[in-house]
Amino acid sequence: MATLVSFHAHPDDETIPTGGSLAKAADAGHRVVIVFATRGEHGEVDEGFLDEGEELWERREQECLRAAEVLGAARVEFLGFVDSGMMGTPENDAPGSFWRADVDEAAKRLGAILDEEQADVLTVYDEHGGYGHPDHIQVHRVGVRASELAGTRRVYEATANRDAIVRGLLEARSAGMEMPGDLDPDAMDDFGVGEDQITTEVDVTDYLDRKRAAMAAHASQISESSFFLAMPSEFFARAFGTEWFIRRGAPAGIHEHGLLDDLD
């Protein structure tokens, strides 16, 4: 059996782009390790959601541990950096922010986990972090460097299939679904990558219940009334039933359908 290390910026990031693949790997008997760069200190939360005196990072840490249990992860680790907020905000420059971290120093922290786990596979994000979030971009930079330091040869960049998303959003709009303004199918040019850049398409339909439950575990960020969890099951399956990756060093074009298939 193989070991898969999945590297993410904040708690809840592990569920949407990779949750099904992680559950699939765990169910196949592989060891799944989730590593977070930060504890998501600067996420948004509804007023009154937290207990008196409770910090958001404390709740998000608890949530990610519950989600990891749902997905079947064997280990969860944090690199100890601070959430950098959105691009261009003051949090980008705060002491300890992940965005300002020295890439080699951060990579050594992740590389130590890769070495300890003797990781066969590492997942990061694509080079623009899916949608330009500074911490997601830094996950790509740090993760790629850590794989070099640790000698982890198989690295997948979790991404979004822009073409498939636009097709799905147009279909949802035609069906009369009300969608948030940031999910405008006519304004997705900076989200994910074109289908022709993707190498790996993972069908996670059989793990949708687990993926949804893991998303719901992150209640501070993804409420049951949110667009994601409130959408009809048909559209939830359409939106989240496939996970997309770019395997570094592999030729472009979808020709793989799993992260660990030949490592069984």
Q: What does the pLDDT read at residue 187?
A: 64
Q: What does the pLDDT read at residue 185?
A: 64
Give the span between the Cα atoms of 209 and 220, in whole angstroms. 19
Q: How far is CA 225 from CA 18, 190, 230, in A?
A: 22, 26, 5
Q: How far is CA 122 from CA 3, 36, 65, 77, 106, in A?
A: 9, 13, 20, 14, 15
Local confidence pLDDT in tens for the 264 residues of the chain: 899 999 999 999 999 999 999 999 999 999 999 999 999 999 999 888 999 988 999 999 999 999 999 999 999 999 999 999 888 888 898 889 999 999 999 999 999 999 999 999 999 999 998 888 999 999 999 999 999 999 999 999 999 998 887 787 777 777 777 666 566 666 667 788 989 999 999 999 999 999 999 999 999 999 988 878 988 888 889 889 999 999 999 999 999 999 998 875
Domain 3-263 has CATH 3.40.50.620: no
Name the residue among 213, 204, 208 with its Cα closest to residue 67: 213
Name the residue among 46, 38, 249 with its Cα closest to residue 135: 38
The gap between the terminal CA atoms of the chain, to the nearest Å, is 6
Cα 179–chain centre separation: 22
Give the span between the Cα atoms of 94 and 154, in whole angstroms. 33
Query: Is the distance from CB of 126 to CB of 159 less than 8 angstroms?
Result: yes
Q: What does the pLDDT read at residue 19?
A: 98
Name the residue among 259, 222, 240, 192 with its Cα closest to residue 6: 259
Structural tokens at position 140:
């790509």
Residue bearing tokens 């339909």: 205
Q: What does the pLDDT read at residue 226?
A: 86
Q: What does the pLDDT read at residue 6?
A: 98
Which residue type, as a one-letter code, is found at position 92? N
Q: What does the pLDDT read at residue 132?
A: 84
CA 36-68-147 angle, to 5 degrees, is: 40
Give the span between the Cα atoms of 39 and 248, in whole angstroms. 27
Give the span between the Cα atoms of 91 and 98, in whole angstroms. 10
Query: Is the distance from CB of 31 to CB of 73 less than 8 angstroms?
Result: no
Structural tokens at position 174:
């035609």
H or E element, residue 165: helix 162-174
- Edge-to-edge, what's the strand order for the sheet holding 200-203? 75-81, 31-38, 3-8, 121-125, 154-159, 242-247, 200-203
Q: What does the pLDDT read at residue 264?
A: 55
Domain boundaries, the chain: 3-263
Q: Is the pTM of this model over 0.95?
A: no
Name the residue among 63, 27, 73 with its Cα closest to residue 204: 27
